Every structure is written in C-alpha cells, then in structure tokens.
Amino acid sequence: MTELGLVATTSPGGSNAAAMADWSSLAGHPVVIWPDKDHAGKVYAANVFQKLKEVGEATLNVDQINVEELDLDEKEDVCEWIEKGFGSN
C-alpha cells in the first residue's frame, strides 16, 4: 500500500473481530473501508463502520469502496486489485 501512498490497517483476529479492535487512533483522519468481495467482507465493513461511528468524529471522514463495481472475483480485495494492475498509474 505504501507504493500507492496509503496507510492500511485491519483488526487483529480477522473478519469476525472488528468489535475487538481499538479504532480510536483513526479519529479525525480520512478512512476508506475496502472490504473483501464476499459476504464476510460486507459484514466486516459494516462492523468497522459501526465501530468508527462510536469513535465519533472519524465518521465524518469515512468512505467505502464498492467492490461490486470493480473487476474482482469472489473473496478478492485491494491486494488482488493492485496485482491486476489497477493501482498503477
């Protein structure tokens, strides 16, 4: 992600652990949620968004990538998107 000029993070414990992470360090920063293209990814994205709402001001700067609009297969995410060359200039 650094080659794109982005900082990435996730919660420890996988897609079922969004509620266990401390998202407070994201308060006041722009956040883009990029879920995997599957049901678990959608649920995880919703859970992360909910946790960010609890952080407060962070929700003013939250966007989400609509993975349905991208050329991704089931279960793929930003890593595969970059591998396919879509993240290059």
* Cα–Cα dist 28/56, whole Å: 9
Q: Mean pLDDT per segment of 10 residues, for the chain of length 89 residues?
A: 77 89 88 94 94 77 92 92 79
Q: Which two tokens stand for residue 42?
A: 């959608």
Q: Which residues pair with 62 in a beta bridge?
A: 31
- Write down the pTM of the prediction: 0.84
DSSP for 34-67, written as a single string = ---SSHHHHHHHHHHHHHHHHHSGGGGGEEE--G
State residue 55's pLDDT score: 84
Q: Cβ distance 33 to 48 under 8 Å?
A: yes
State residue 2's pLDDT score: 60
State residue 88's pLDDT score: 63
Using only the alpha carbons of the chain, give its radius of gyration. 13
State residue 32's pLDDT score: 92
Residues 16, 87, 67: CA angle, nearest 5 degrees: 40
